[in-house]
Structure 1
Amino acid sequence: MQVSILASGSTGNTSLITTKDHKILMDAGLSGKKTKELLAEVGVDIKEIDMVFLSHDHSDHSAGLGVLMRRYPQIDAFANTGTWQYLLDTNKIGKVPVQQMNTIEPGQTRTFGDLDVTAFATSHDAAEPQYYVFTSGGKSVAFLTDTGYVSEKVEKTIEDADAYMMEFNYDNMMLRDGPYSWPLKQRILSDVGHLSNDEAGQALVDVVTPKTKHIFLAHRSQHNNTEYLAHETAKEMLLEGDANIDEKLKIIDTSPSQPTALTEI
């Protein structure tokens, strides 16, 4: 299994997971053109994508899904019932081909050849947010952003993965002292908001094991965080703290506009 975080941030999110049998997008928050360009940068033709898994309805995760489904009929798209219903009711992604729509509900694991996908509910101000653990060839990668907190149930679901994409959205001090309105700050800080650097770091400390070799720091706010602060917090809590990790663990920064290298998990 290989992973590239193609783009991560408030301007749009999408990631690539490859197995022997599949090439999968996790979220589709960019235009079809931009998604095609980012995939090409890591050596993948967009026509090879056969599945997309959607986390929730917010535009920075879903805006490009309708275009991809209409343009590439080989793509099967997966989301839970609540997310599909909201997207259809609001027409946020336009008319989508019904034959390409598929459901995966929180708590469910579905198998697609050499790939198992487990969905789990998160806490965010969307219709029915959920994220996923992808498992193939004895390796697993857990994706988790856009959640106000990480429950014990979620930790149990994602623990002992080989790799993580984890939200490091904001630095507490930068958010509190920053330019956002107080209602928006309250929303971000709330249980249906986002994870701070410290909260994300603590969640990782709780779930990583020596099996974990890669951690991608994702969904970093461009106004309330910096790459340095996110990376140093993760490094301090994981590499210099009491986390049960392998010395070869790599902490990888992601970008809103540049893909990470296609990484073997």
Structure 2
Amino acid sequence: MTEAAFKYSILASGSSGNAFYLESPQKKLLIDAGLSGKKITELMAEIDRHPQDLDAILVTHEHKDHIHGVGVLARKYQLDIYANEKTWQAMDGMLGKIDSHQKHLFELGKTKIFGDLDIESFGVSHDAAAPQFYRFMKDGKSFVMLTDTGYVSDRMAGIVENADAYLIESNHDIEILRSGAYPWSLKQRILSDQGHLSNEDGAETMIRTLGHKTKRIYLGHLSKENNIKELAHMTMENALKQADLAVDHDFKVYDTAPDEATPLTDI
């Protein structure tokens, strides 16, 4: 049996906090740490992994639900942190004291090599300093993280097409958001081109980007107030079926949770 190119687990995904774990034979990485260090440690334990074994933390952007535990984990376990220059500037004062030798640049639109992994960063449209997400690649296999964007441009769609697995944003149901208790200014922000993808937006993005390699689609960053897990799942599956894509045959749709890790999965 051939060895997996890499393994991954979506430790947490939601408006309350986000963290993604990925390991290859040579590297163990955390992408975002948007919950407390204690909670991240508990979530990693669910997949029998431990923060002291991490090589680095990659940061997508400076919002609290993506960096809440970064400083604590980096100090406790002497971890390297990677982010682009504008994100480092925006995080200044938010992480606590980080030694300069732990701070590294991962510039927007670049591909970096981490041991046996190639990681490509790409920009998204979100109200942060310079938000970027990642495509992880090894041995012809790839995983794409794509949340926290108001829309998906043709350029972004081209970068992320035909991955083996996706974490795609299904943040809100438009009608629930419109009729909900959020102030109008916040609703406008979420619905804007620098906000978040709705269930329909996420589904439309998948129709544009999935390919013959794609086997798994994970729905991520669901809003606790403005979405329902079953509704997000149904919206995605129905849209894919209407586009004549073979859901549950060629690929499957999976849910994520804000406080429960997905199983450690080979790719």
- Shorter-chain TM-score: which interval? over 0.9
Counterpart residue number, 2:33: 28
Runs of 4+ in 1 over 6 A off after TM superposition: none
Unaligned runs of 5+ residues in structure 2 are 1-5
| 1:105, distance to aligned residue in structure 2 (A) | 1.2
The one-letter code matched in structure 2 to 1:2 is K
CA deviation string 1:80-130 (max 9, x = no partner): 000001111xx1111112111111111100112210010001111111111
The one-letter code matched in structure 2 to 1:254 is T
Q: Which residue among 204, 213, 216 is the counterpart of 1:214? A: 216
Counterpart residue number, 1:112: 114
Asked if structure 2 preserves the Cα contact closer than 8 Å seen for 1:77 and 1:100, the reply is yes
The one-letter code matched in structure 1 to 2:49 is V
The answer on 1:72 being equivalent to 2:77 is yes
Asked if structure 1 preserves the Cα contact closer than 8 Å seen for 2:149 and 2:195, the reply is yes
Identity of aligned residues (%): 47
Give the secondary structure class of the aligned counterpart of 2:126: coil
| 1:245, distance to aligned residue in structure 2 (A) | 7.0
Q: Which residue among 73, 83, 86 is the counterpart of 2:87? A: 83
Q: Aligned partners of 1:245, 1:103: CA distance in 2, in Å?
A: 39
Q: Aligned partners of 1:72, 1:167: CA distance in 2, in Å?
A: 30
Q: Aligned partners of 1:10, 1:222: CA distance in 2, in Å?
A: 7
The one-letter code matched in structure 2 to 1:39 is M
Asked if structure 2 preserves the Cα contact closer than 8 Å seen for 1:144 and 1:166, the reply is yes
Give the secondary structure class of the aligned counterpart of 1:27: strand
When the two structures are aligned, how many residues end up with a matched partner? Answer: 262
Q: Aligned partners of 1:192, 1:64: CA distance in 2, in Å?
A: 24
Q: Aligned partners of 1:80, 1:159: CA distance in 2, in Å?
A: 23
The answer on 1:62 being equivalent to 2:64 is no
Asked if structure 2 preserves the Cα contact closer than 8 Å seen for 1:209 and 1:246, the reply is no
CA deviation string 1:147-176 (max 9, x = no partner): 100011100110010010011000011111
Q: Which residue among 95, 98, 123 is the counterpart of 2:97? A: 95
| 1:203, distance to aligned residue in structure 2 (A) | 0.5
Q: Aligned partners of 1:11, 1:245: CA distance in 2, in Å?
A: 29
Counterpart residue number, 2:45: 40
Give the secondary structure class of the aligned counterpart of 2:211: coil
| 1:248, distance to aligned residue in structure 2 (A) | 3.6
Q: Aligned partners of 1:246, 1:104: CA distance in 2, in Å?
A: 36
Q: Which residue among 15, 29, 33 is the counterpart of 1:10? A: 15
The answer on 1:50 being equivalent to 2:55 is yes
The one-letter code matched in structure 2 to 1:77 is I
Unaligned runs of 5+ residues in structure 1 are none
The answer on 1:224 being equivalent to 2:226 is yes
Q: Aligned partners of 2:197, 2:30: CA distance in 1, in Å?
A: 23
Give the secondary structure class of the aligned counterpart of 2:185: helix
Counterpart residue number, 2:172: 170
Q: Aligned partners of 1:209, 1:5: CA distance in 2, in Å?
A: 22
Counterpart residue number, 1:126: 128
